[in-house]
Amino acid sequence: MVTCMTWRIILRGGVAATAGNIPSTVLTIGARFRDEGMPEEIGILLPTNAGPKRLIDAVADRSVPVDGAILGLFLASPFLNVESEGPRLARAGVRWVTNLPSVEQQDEEFSGQLSDVDLDHGRELQALAAFRAQGFRVAAVVAGATGAADAVGIDPDALIVLPRIADFAAGFPSLRQRGAAIQAVAEATTTAGWPGPVLGLGNAGEAEHERLWPDRLDGVICRPVLI
């Protein structure tokens, strides 16, 4: 049986009508190794987790219902064949795909090592672009301005800003810390001329109170919950 998580999405008032009908949730695989001291956002980045095929198979055979959610997959996997897996997901009702979990959340030194072996954010964006070419809508996960500048090159339907692993060192990153990353991403997208919605990670309390959100945030993707 595949353990999954949902990440609820709350859009800013007035954004829903112009945000391209973004689904209300993201569906991802759950962490295979769990500890009460480890955030779920970090647990799904561990190398002990299954690659994307396990979740794809579960979605394709309908043992895991998608219910209109954005499907989050580890798209840096060298074993993922978008050409063959895309049609299976489409038949199962998947309409949106995102690169979650993402290597963008790794620290910059480790990201450089991943890039040396072509297992980096660039591979994830290539996979997203391939899914989009098949008719899927895509949301690109980024961690900062550089990743955002790269991501808008594939013209995604939305960006999701997630903190890096190091940002969780002292607990859940502060709203100020997350807001600074969102501001940097928003400035990068403005410079690139990309007008799409930017979503950022938040907790349930923040999601219900827009006045707490950074000005450039179009919606909150809530912290994941096991299902």
- pLDDT (tens digit per residue) in 63-90: 999 999 999 999 999 999 999 999 999 9
Q: Does the domain made of 4-226 have the CATH classification 3.20.20.70?
A: yes
**Max Cα distance, the chain (Å):** 45
Neighbours of 109 (CB within 10 A): 7
pLDDT value at residue 50: 72
Q: What pLDDT sits at residue 111? A: 57
Q: With the CA atoms of 210, 211, 212 and 216 taken in that order, what torsion angle do they form, in degrees rounded to the nearest 10? A: 70
Residue 63, phi-psi category: left (phi > 0), alpha (psi -120 to 50), beta (remainder): alpha
Does position 18 have pLDDT exceeding 80, yes or no? no
Average pLDDT over residues 105-130: 76
pLDDT, position 45: 86
Cα–Cα distance measured from residue 210 to residue 17, given in angstroms and rounded to the nearest whole number: 17
In this prediction, residue 106 carries a pLDDT of: 81
Average pLDDT over residues 138-144: 97
| Predicted local distance difference test score (pLDDT) of residue 37 | 78
DSSP 8-state class, residue 92: T
pLDDT digits (tens, 9 = 90+) for 95-116: 999 999 999 988 766 555 555 4
Compute the mean pLDDT over every residue in the chain, rounded to the nearest whole number.
91
Are 204 and 220 spatial neighbours (Cβ–Cβ below 8 Å)?
no
Please enumerate in sequence order all residues whose Cβ is within 8 A of that of 89, keeping only pairs 6 or more positions apart, or say none.
56, 59, 60, 71, 97, 136
| CA proximity to 194, closest of 167, 140, 146, 155 | 155
Please give the backbone phi and psi of residue 135, each rounded to the nearest 5 degrees, phi first: 105, 0
Confidence of residue 32 (pLDDT cuts 50, 70, 90): confident
Q: Which two tokens stand for residue 168?
A: 């969780």
Query: Beta 219-222 vs 4-11: how paired, if at all?
Result: antiparallel
- pLDDT surpasses 90 at 117: no
The model carries a pTM of 0.93
> Quick one: pLDDT at residue 109?
63
* Residue 49 amino acid letter: N
